Chain A
């Protein structure tokens, strides 16, 4: 079933169609939110809120304007940005690092115990919100550069500039921690 037909059914209150939408898109949205917020519990809330809004506003979706995936990512992105701006200005840490720090270990000890997945999570978490968003949407979410630029409300040149800086910074952080 294509995006337009699916959302047409959802807009008429079809719960089975909505369940199909959730199964198709929730995993990608959840990974996006985890990578952006670096906190599983917050990410789950964002996904729930995103899909609830998709249910409520299903009639507003226009398949000619955007893929459903892009539309959902735009909602999730806006919610994540709101969440990040509400949070304290502290840099969000990857879950493994966060729990390790609460155990009062030194940074060196923590870095030694982290596996490479956690090191990548920490490196991505150390990026600014815009650099992180650009990287996560482009690299992990299977969206085109035009779709990412549209979600973020920036030009293609600005997106590429963010991506180059983000990749450089991650490389530097990973090299420093290895």
Chain B
């Protein structure tokens, strides 16, 4: 990425900040300031000296290369179940709505035998209007019913 024309030219102070923060290697410098810093370095002995100091520290840092142990087989052999990816809220809403529709279908299916039973009941003989026996049982205590018998 190159510096945009509206950006001010790289100052000496900023060039020093970059070298002190990122070290001597251009590939670690901020991409948009890399070109300007290289140009500035070419004509500034002060910056060149600073870069040399930074380079010495870089060389020391490069000496620490930890050993790497390969665990690919163990990792691939012991993988747990995967989780579902996060959905957009609209998709989640649609999923809830659709599952609701499925729920209604299941409920309707379950209610069908009840409805059939109700219709069957209506189509049979009308119940008797003679309430005398029921009234007798409701309005008399069990002991009285037994003694009357």
Q: A interface vs B, CB < 8 Å?
A: 11, 13, 15, 18-19, 22-23, 26-27, 30-31, 34-35, 40, 43-44, 47-48, 51-52, 55-60, 116-117, 120-121, 124, 138-140, 144-145, 156, 159-160, 163-164, 167-168, 170-171, 174
Contacts and interface: CB of A to CB of B under 8 A. Distances in A.
Contacts of B58: 139
B101 interface: no
B72 A52 contact: no
A30 B61 contact: no
Interface size class of B (residues with CB under 8 A): 20 to 34
B85 A174 contact: no
Contacts of B85: 11, 57-60
Contact of A55 (B57, B69, B82): B82
B3 to A, nearest CB: 15
Contact of B76 (A18, A144, A168, A171): A18
Contact of B22 (A22, A43, A48, A138): A138
Contacts of A124: 64
Contact of B82 (A30, A48, A59, A170): A59
